[in-house]
Amino acid sequence: MLKKKDSHKKQKDTTHLSLFILGGVVLYFLSGMVDELRVYQGASIAVYVIAISSIILLTGYSGQVSLGHGALMAVGAYAAAVLRIEYNLPIILCFVVAVLAAAIGGALLGAAAARLTGPYLAGTTLALAIGLPSLANQFTVLGGEQGLIFDVGFPPLSLGEDFTQYRWFFWIAALAALMSMWVVKNILGSRYGRSWRAGRGHEVAAQLAGINTARSKVLAFTVSAGIAGLAGALLAMTIGTVSPSAFPLSLSFALLTGAVLAGITTLGGVIVGAFVLVIIPEIADVIAHRLGTSESVTTNLPGLIVSGLLILTVLFVPNGPVEQHRARKAKHEALLGSTHK
């Protein structure tokens, strides 16, 4: 029986790996078939996929609400940019340092979060989202209000003269997204993921079962922050700069909205949430152009749409549209099964 379970697990893992590889191949060909704007948007979707998955890991699996993931992204972005500028490190090492720097910040925040729950935890992370980006103004090494230039360099000449900078960004971001999703999926399927789910549902029962829930919460925050740090460095890569204005409070709320749209307890719809976040500014521009609104309304319209989507999703599909579809499908299959019996 045990051998059969192991065989089934290996087969499932192989299937998932094959799907990830197939996804990479599809993205490779798609990047050469669309215009530069869509390639740039594709890179942005990949960045949001990583960022939203970090929210799902923390909130959906560990049960800890964070309103400060934009600030953790900023930590990763600044760490990568400073090392790139000061020491000219290879870009892959800059991304690794971004993960480590944000993970350390997440561990410190997680140590405090282990003692907090509900609105107290949300309030603490909200204060972080407000205060941390503005802290950059106090240190000249961080570039102040103007920020820092984050240049990852030109694509290798071996890729050809027609290989554009945005395609290079897309390749890096898409590869990072595929690898991150693979890692996150395996972590959530491990004993750590099971411990987080147990602590989220019944903390006292989890403690009685021998799970150190405080340590488990700190670990969840650390891992989630590290993933967010990578997303922050990739976001800085796509826009070419790191500044406080690149990581506003609205970014943290947008990520939470994307996670709710994706389905806060599943990774299955993460690309849906990322796609919606990327397409919202374009929709807002079209609406503003047709209505002929003022510049201030045009600027704030994407935030209003994000807020409206969050409220509507929580009211009508609290588990997210993907999870809702799965639940309906499972219910339908169960009804069919009982009918056949």
Burial class (CB in 10 A: 0-12, 13-18, 19+), 198: middle
In this structure, are residues 221 and 107 in contact, taking their beta carbons and an 8 Å threshold? Answer: yes
Q: Which residues contact 220 (CB under 8 A, 6 or more apart)?
A: 57, 58, 61, 62, 64, 110, 196
Q: Is the pLDDT of residue 7 over 60?
A: no
Q: Band of the pLDDT at 31, cuts 50, 70, 90? A: low
pTM, two decimal places: 0.88
| Structure confidence by residue, pLDDT tens digits, 117-127 | 777 788 888 88
Residue 8 has pLDDT above 70, yes or no: no
Indicate the residue type of 243.
S
Residue 232: predicted pLDDT:
96
> pLDDT tens for residues 75-113?
999 999 999 999 989 999 999 999 999 999 999 988 877
- CA atoms of 187 and 182, how far apart (whole Å): 9
- 241 has which bridge partners? 149
Token pair of 249 as six digits: 């409070």
Please name each of the domains of the chain with its CATH number. 34-340 (1.10.3470)
Which pair of structure tokens corresponds to residue 279? 């397409």
pLDDT average, residue stretch 19-36? 65
Interior/surface letters 46-55, b for 16+ CB within 10 angstroms, e for the rest:
bbbbbbbbbb
Mean pLDDT, residues 186-191 taken together: 90
Mean per-residue pLDDT for 302-316?
84
pLDDT of residue 53: 95
Do 47 and 217 touch, CB atoms closer than 8 A? no
Chain-wide mean pLDDT for the chain?
84
Question: What's the CA gap between 189 and 195, in Å, rounded?
Answer: 10
pLDDT score of 230:
97
Average confidence (pLDDT) over 298-304: 81
What's the pLDDT score for residue 338?
A: 65
Alpha-carbon span 335 to 329, nearest angstrom: 10
pLDDT tens readout for residues 222-261: 999 999 999 999 999 999 999 988 998 889 989 988 998 8
CA dihedral defined by 252, 249, 228, 51, rounded to 10 degrees? Answer: 40
Looking at residue 52, what is its pLDDT?
95
Q: What band does 328 get if pLDDT is binned at 50, 70 and 90?
A: confident
Residue 2, pLDDT above cutoff 50: no
Comparing CA positions, the residue from 165, 63, 41 lying closest to residue 116 is: 63
Q: What pLDDT sits at residue 339?
A: 65
The predicted pLDDT at position 100 comes to 97
Q: Write down the pLDDT at residue 125.
A: 85
**pLDDT grade for 200, boundaries at 50, 70 and 90:** confident
pLDDT digits (tens, 9 = 90+) for 46-73: 999 999 999 999 998 888 888 889 999 9
Given this model, what pLDDT does residue 109 score?
A: 87
Cα 195 → chain centroid: 21
